[in-house]
Amino acid sequence: MQMKKFKEWLSEQSTVGTEFVDERQIDAVYDKAKLSVRLVRLYDKATNQTLLKNISTIANLSSGAYGLYSSSENKKVIGAQVVNNLKMKFGNDIMSTNKLNTVPNAIIKKYVPGIDERMIQPSDVIRVNIQKHLATHGDSIEAILEIASTIVHECTHELELQNTGTTNEAGPIAAERRFMAWFKSNWNLVRQQIPELASYRNSLGSGSKWLQG
């Protein structure tokens, strides 16, 4: 399969490989969660990042932490040429059992040198505990911003794991801080691109971390 054909086929696979994700679960819990996703997309575009590119679904998390990324929910869209190379290396079992879904791209590349990584597109899930954010912040701009920050955090876990084979809290926490700093410095851009947030900005308390610094 030629690269062009793979890209054409990939473009037909719903939101895979794009900045657009299936966010219906979190929107159903909190209708303003869609503003959080739009804010992350704007941040991605403004800072030349691709936080959402590998994410197919932002799902709801019903208990526990504010957010979650688990490689057990990962899937991959893989071009035929790469599939054949992987079968030659590991046998048919590697595809039939879906084992590759949970193996980071960095690890696949390590064991199959020269593989075209562009033809292995992650289609992964992150989860956000919308109810916990609402319990902490209520229906407020703080909730919208914290949901967006959680999305940034969990996407960073996913990117680190796919690109390096490992992840910990340091990178995602740093990514949240960069997102917060960007929001503070680019309010005019945010207001222009997401006017629904403009009326909320004044409701941030003077002690909010989104205004300080």
State the CATH number of the domain containing residue 173.
3.40.390
Predicted structure pTM score: 0.86
Total domain count, the chain: 2
Query: Average pLDDT of 118-143?
Result: 93
In a domain, 207, yes or no: no
57 and 116 belong to one structural domain: no
64 and 92 belong to one structural domain: no
Nearest partner of 76 among 13, 136, 20, 31, judged by Cα: 13
Residue 199, SS3? helix
81 and 172 belong to one structural domain: no
**Which residues is 121 bridged to in the sheet?**
77
Residue 139, SS3? coil
Question: Are the C-beta atoms of residues 39 and 144 closer than 8 Å to each other?
Answer: yes
98 and 193 belong to one structural domain: no
For residue 38, give its domain range: 13-71+123-198
Q: Is the pLDDT of residue 96 over 80?
A: no
Q: Is the pLDDT of residue 158 over 90?
A: yes
60 and 93 belong to one structural domain: no
